[in-house]
Amino acid sequence: MFGLLVRFTCKDETAAAGFDDLVARTGEQIRANESGTVIYAVHRVDGRPLERVFYELYRDKEAFEEHESKDYVRVFLSERDRYLSGTEVDRLDFVSGKGVDVEY
């Protein structure tokens, strides 16, 4: 398993709405096309309306690399910065959890 925890901060409320739209369009493609993406969850942060947190869990590093190679992900990566004032990324090594099949 390979994971990411990403915190995005949007520039303002208008940018947050545009970012959410970009995220929704990208998420549809991820759900339809990526069997190696185990979890791709996006959250708004309570009390901080400009922040979004992504939790991404992939079957393995190869599944993550496949995800990154997709055209719709490249569009997301190229368009996201117009909406953002900050990005923080943590790479995660899976230890244990509930609801995650680790027998890949």
> What pLDDT, in 10s, does the model give residues 22-36?
999 999 999 999 999
The verdict on residue 37 lying in a domain is: yes
C-alpha to C-alpha distances, 12 to 26, 45, 92, nearest whole angstrom: 21, 14, 29
Q: pTM to 2 decimals?
A: 0.90
Helix (H, G, I), strand (E, B) or coil at 45: strand
- For Cα atoms 27, 32, 37, give the angle at the middle one, nearest 5 degrees: 70
Cα gap 82→10, rounded to integer Å:
9
The verdict on residue 44 lying in a domain is: yes
The verdict on residue 48 lying in a domain is: yes
Q: What CATH number does residue 39 fall under? A: 3.30.70.100
The position carrying tokens 């303002």 is 12
The verdict on residue 100 lying in a domain is: no
Q: Which domain holds residue 77?
A: 2-93
The verdict on residue 102 lying in a domain is: no
For the chain, the domain total comes to 1
The verdict on residue 103 lying in a domain is: no
Q: Which two tokens mark 86?
A: 């900050």
Model pLDDT, residue 100: 79
